[in-house]
Amino acid sequence: MEGSSINPWASETSLSVERLFAEFGIEPIDQVVDRLPEKPVFFRRGIVFGHRDYNQIADAIRLNHPFYVMTGFMPSGHPHLGHLMVMKEVVWHVMQGGTGSICIADREAHAVRDLSWDDCDRYAKEYLNCLFALGYTGKTYSQRKSRDLQDLCFEASTKVNFSELAAIYGFGPDTDLGHAISVTTQVADILYPQVAGKPAPTVVPVGLDQDPHIRLTRGIAHKMRMFTIQEHDGCISVRSKNAPESAMDSIAGMFPRVRRCSGHIDIYDASCGDVKTQIRNIEIAHGGYGFVTPSATFHRFMPGLQGGKMSSSVPDSIIGFMEDDITVKKKVMGALTGGRQTLALQKEFGGRPDECPVFLLNLFHMIDDDATLAALHEQCIRGELMCGQCKSDTASRVQEFLVKFREKMDETEHQVKECGWL
């Protein structure tokens, strides 16, 4: 698979943040989070660095309007600390009033990673248990078991062709259809909350590698609309793409001042927000979807303990939720750090916390208090804290965290059963 700049199935993506902003249209998160009533750790610490269309989510949170939060997990191995951030993001958005939807991407794991269905189910339960331990409430489903999702996937498939898949993912003549179907299944995952419920903004917290899916879904959501709506000099133009004439009649009759032309209707003296809502309702009444184009946030990946990505295929790079104290200690003590070659050099020049997997483990998950984290950072760059001590402190924090987390998992295991997964 060639030709794509971000490949969701590669183990590494190394694109500069500037290029993402300039070329891919991902926007920096800073300004938009100022509109939130409360800033969680992942926004404060730059873990989530970019977004598409998050404004509509920030507004929904602030104004207490309905919105969805959805993401998917591919059950291709045991969940580990590398999955924790996105889980926390989902749970936080649910706490802010979002309606949650969690997809277990078993079709994708089967097609792309060749996992058996039984293994998918086994891992799926572990992911869900972690989510419940963090306080998740909301819907959970499996791609292979949801017939409605598959119907939506089929509809979405009618809006994608092979050249688009080639351009976005680098698919070629040798790519199997399972890959293509996983892609349109993910599109359906993202749009599905709006079909099961009413159309509303949807945020999809993901790592950057998933952006191709986000872009494709946003395009398809737009293509599946019956109308386009444009505001220009004093009027709002509603243009039919494939709307039945009866839907156009309803629109013409709904607003006091309209000018009906062939293929579009100009509406005067109305607010754009109102028009959008009304048009969406008309679209649904005529059998359409009325999708709100979904939003996304993008987080940095926590580096693996050996540098690189945290990945199940490199056991020493990850910390699993079930790992015992001795293994945790061994892995953290053996981690790559931002330290210098000798003690003397480190005392003189200080460590490099910003590129240190151990510091980042603390930044992502192990130290909640900002002042404590800032003090650690400071001590490190001043050459006051050596790596051995820092790793040993960090290992204790991880052990303590895991003990508590597993207690929570035990307490919430019944929820996995209750949602039909055991």
- How crowded is the C-beta side of 75, counted as CA atoms within 13 Å? 27
Letter string b/e over residues 325-361, b meaning 16 or more CB atoms within 10 A of that residue's CB: eeebbebbeebbbbbbeeeeebeeebbebeebbbbbb
Q: Which is nearer to ligand TRP, 80 or 331 (CB)?
A: 80
> Closer to ligand TRP at the Cβ: 69 or 247?
69
The least CB distance from residue 8 to ligand TRP, in Å, is 6
Shorter beta-carbon distance to ligand TRP: residue 184 or 399: 184
Closest to 68 (Cα-Cα) out of 131, 133, 138, 156: 138
- Residue pair 91/137 in contact (Cβ under 8 Å)? The answer is no
Strand order from edge to edge, sheet including 227-232: 227-232, 235-240, 264-268, 257-260
3-state secondary structure of 221: helix
State the nearest-atom distance from the C-beta of 20 to ligand TRP, in Å: 18
Cα 396 from Cα 126, distance rounded (Å): 24
In the bound state, the residue with its beta carbon closest to ligand TRP is: 72
In residues, how long is the chain?
Answer: 422
3-state SS assignment for residue 161 = coil
Nearer to ligand TRP, 89 or 189 (CB): 189
CB of 59 to ligand TRP, least distance (A): 22
Q: Which residues lie closer than 8 Å to 190 by C-beta, 6 or more apart? A: 70, 202, 204, 213, 214, 217, 294
Question: Which C-beta is closer to ligand TRP: that of 8 or that of 79?
Answer: 8
Q: Hey, is 304 helix, strand or coil? A: coil
In terms of CB distance, is 204 or 390 closer to ligand TRP?
204
* Residues at the site binding ligand TRP, with contacts judged by CB under 6 A: 8, 71-72, 74, 103, 105, 108, 186, 189-190, 204, 206, 210
C-alpha to C-alpha distance for 309 and 318, rounded to whole angstroms? 9
User: At its nearest, how many Å lie between ligand TRP and the CB of residue 408?
Assistant: 23
* Complex with ligand TRP: residue 7 or 278, whichever CB lies closer: 7
Closer residue to ligand TRP in complex, CB, 160/206: 206
| 106 vs 283, beta carbon nearer ligand TRP | 106
Using the minimum distance from each CB to ligand TRP, give the nearer residue, 92 or 255.
92
Query: Cα–Cα distances in Å, from 309 out to 83, 202, 322, 382, 412?
Result: 12, 28, 20, 28, 29
* Min CB(103)–ligand TRP separation in Å: 5
Least Å from the CB of residue 258 to ligand TRP? 39
CB of 36 to ligand TRP, least distance (A): 22
Handedness of CA 319, 323, 329, 334 (dihedral sign): negative
Two tokens at 355?
């590129």
Taking the alpha carbons of 265, 268, 274, 276 in that order, is the dihedral positive or negative? positive
Least CB distance to ligand TRP at residue 216 (A): 11
55: nearest Cα among 28, 74, 17, 80: 28
Closer by beta carbon to ligand TRP, 113 or else 198: 113
**Under the phi-then-psi rule, with left for phi > 0, alpha for psi from -120 to 50, and beta for the rest, what region is 227?**
beta
- Shortest Å distance, C-beta 206 to ligand TRP: 5
Largest Cα span, the chain: 81
Tell me the HSE value of 177 on the side-chain side, using a 13 A CA sphere: 1
